[in-house]
Amino acid sequence: FFFILLTTSFSQQPKTFLINGVFPITGDYPVGEDHSIAAQIAIDDIKSQSWWPKSWDLQLITTDSECMDEIAMGRVVDIVMENEKELIAYVGCLCPKIAEQVSIVSEYYNVPVISSGATSLQLSSRSEFPTFSRVSPTDRYQNEMIVSLCQKYGWEKVAVFYSSQDNIKQSAIDS
């Protein structure tokens, strides 16, 4: 689910709008290809709507973050430097560290970040990440749901398997 609010005049002049999809396609957490495909389907659907001006173009630029901070940031900065005027949003940003860093860059350019997977509670701080939003619940909310489920069914012993990613490890400890 990717919803982008265009804050431009609704004229018929030819325009190009770019969305930078930041997804881990390769690396240790290669789950981004499906997200990239879903984002492209959403963009194609938007462009097929009768209200979308035919003279406008909406494109997805996919950035492979590899879920590695230094790689993702270099690629994201390259995209924004090459396309500053046309860039209207970042989507994806599944890895919390990547989402945090992209959000810092996006605040400078006043470009929204819409994450479909970064669940870190820290990203909920509007003062720290004013351009960040997500379409998935935070780790804390998910943990509360799991605890409620265990209480409902009277489960007293629970095994927790978690990733070595810092935010997931901390989420398991907080529970």
The predicted pLDDT at position 11 comes to 59
Look at residue 5 in the predicted model and tell me its pLDDT.
47
Give dist(CA 58, CA 173) in Å, integer. 42
Q: What is the pLDDT of residue 93?
A: 86
pLDDT of residue 132: 93
Q: Are 94 and 31 in contact (CB under 8 A)?
A: yes
CA distances from 79 to 16, 27, 83, 168 (A): 15, 20, 6, 29
pLDDT at 102: 92
Sign of torsion, CA 155 169 131 61? Answer: negative
- Overall residue count recorded for the chain in this entry: 175
Give the strands of the sheet with 113-115, arranged side by side: 56-64, 15-23, 87-92, 113-115, 132-134
- Residues 149 and 107: their CA atoms lie apart, in Å, by 38
Average pLDDT, the chain: 84
Low-confidence ranges of the chain (pLDDT < 50): 1-5, 7-8
Question: What is the pTM for the complete model shown?
Answer: 0.76
pLDDT in tens, 27-75: 888 888 999 999 999 999 999 999 999 899 999 999 999 988 888 989 9
How far apart CA 123 and CA 130 sit, in angstroms, is 9
